Amino acid sequence: MKKQLRKFDFDSWVVVEPHDLKEGDIFAYGDTTALFKGLDLAGANSATQIIAESIQDDPIRIQLGEKGSDWEFIVMAMDFAGSSCHEFGDGSAIISDFADGKTAVYSPRLPLKELNKFCKENLSVYETFYNNHFISIDDGKSIPMERFW
């Protein structure tokens, strides 16, 4: 299958051309995920080259007696998915795994409080997902989740 350039558009992946990317977009190509910085139109052999930086995992969050916090149920869902929560500059967040070529998405992109509510209401879905994949998740593998939202 031919590799396709995909951009993370709000909360899903869409196929795009390089000139469709804007600075700060998250994109995937083959086994690579990265943050778009720009285009080099005079690259080697006159080919357009993408300037990008790798995406690092978001920090691990540990819930220590913070009942009622905006993160309480997000952290639980993150544990069940074996993933982190990516926060965007607009106040929204999504449980996802974008580092090291991964493209798994585990929640809709929502404002933080709404995402916490979503995770609370759907915690059983995340628990079932973990129970079905716990060996791989505990081994640090990124397991895609079928979109249920």
Residue 76 and residue 113 in one domain: yes
Residue 134 and residue 93 in one domain: yes
Residue 78 sits in which domain range? 72-138
Using CA atoms, how far apart are residues 85 and 116, in angstroms rounded to an integer?
A: 11
Domains contained in the chain, number: 2
Task: Give the pLDDT score at 46.
Answer: 66
Task: Give the pLDDT score at 7.
Answer: 95
Structure tokens at 114: 């709404």
Structure tokens at 104: 């798994």
Residue 82 and residue 41 in one domain: no
Task: Give the pLDDT score at 89.
Answer: 85
Residue 79 and residue 124 in one domain: yes
Residue 79 and residue 128 in one domain: yes
Structure tokens at 23: 């600075």
Which has more confidence, 63 or 125?
A: 125
Task: Give the pLDDT score at 102.
Answer: 86
3-state secondary structure of 70: coil
DSSP letter, residue 20: G
pTM for the full predicted model: 0.77
Residue 146 has pLDDT above 60, yes or no: yes
Residue 50 and residue 76 in one domain: no
Residue 91 and residue 130 in one domain: yes
CB atoms within 10 A of CB 95: 26
Instruction: List pLDDT tens digits, range 60-105.
Output: 666 554 677 788 999 999 999 999 898 888 999 999 998 878 899 9
